[in-house]
Amino acid sequence: MHNIALTWQQAAVLAVALSTVAIALYQSGGRRARAVYRFAREAGVISGLYALWQLAGSLSVLGTSGAFARARWIVRFERSVHLPSEAGTQRLVEAHPLIVEACNIYYASMHFGVLFVFLLWLFLRHADQYRRIRLTLVLVTVTCLLVQLVPVAPPRLLPGFTDTAAQYGQSVYSLGLAPDQLSAMPSVHVAWAVLIGWSVVRVSSSKWRWLVLTHPILTVLVVAATANHFWLDGGAAVALLVGCVWSQRAARWLAERRGPAQAAPAHVAVAQGRQVS
């Protein structure tokens, strides 16, 4: 399967082009141009962040040392805490080729596709929430990339598991052991999907908003069924996401507390000045 994701070079060129368009629109001074400017600016920012993510992903694994040993440790740990087997999940679907192929396609395309639609919807319909959620997206992605500096092989590269994408000629990975193939822990797929589901449920008031939860549920099942990630990879990604959300809340709480404290001396000084006069 052809990898529909942009390379970091392509994304960087797109980011520069969009930023150039945004600057030109801003300088034109027209009302309509300014409206389009906001969209071009944000599209440029997202493209730039995506380029950095792709570049970091290609460089994040500093060699293959220990990647397979860590993967085998994850298998033993999951068995010790009685998590379901990824191989068992594969056996549930491997007798149904159409389902397996659908899982491969979902893994390869919906990861970026749903995120793009989500960001576009958020920007157009809930602009007041856009920057906060975009910051969460950036934080959890960067955090995941930092953890991925420690290489971990995915289950599909271990004995006892099936690389379903390679089996059906749908793999998005190049031949050989590329660096991004050893960045299984944690799963950015799961982190993004859970962020999308959580954000839509919180932001939207539609009675249909709960349907978006099918995306993180399917993502968790698909990454296991295709043996691209362990269950533990998804669990770690969700834990990092929760940590990023709570760190933002803690930062806002501290800023709110610090604000009145900094304003108090000025207020007191004014009151004292009035008393002297």
AA identity, residue 221: L
- Residue 146 CA to residue 15 CA, distance in Å, equals 23
Inter-residue contact 200 to 140 (CB < 8 Å): no
DSSP single-letter state for residue 138: H
pLDDT digits (tens, 9 = 90+) for 119-143: 999 999 999 999 999 999 999 999 9
pLDDT lower than 70: segments of the chain: 1-5, 59-63, 174-180, 260-277
- Residue 191 CA to residue 115 CA, distance in Å, equals 11
Inter-residue contact 190 to 234 (CB < 8 Å): yes
pLDDT digits (tens, 9 = 90+) for 24-52: 888 887 777 877 888 899 899 888 888 88
- Residue 148 CA to residue 138 CA, distance in Å, equals 15
pLDDT at 266: 47
Identify the residue whose tokens are 């000084």: 269
> Is 174 exposed, middle or buried (CB count within 10 Å of its CB: 0-12, 13-18, 19+)?
exposed
pLDDT at 138: 92
At residue 177, φ and ψ (nearest 5 deg) are: -100, 85
Residue 29 neighbours by CB under 8 Å, 6+ apart? none
State the greatest distance between any 2 C-alpha atoms of the chain, in Å, as a whole number.
Answer: 89
What is the distance of C-alpha 105 from the center of its chain?
18
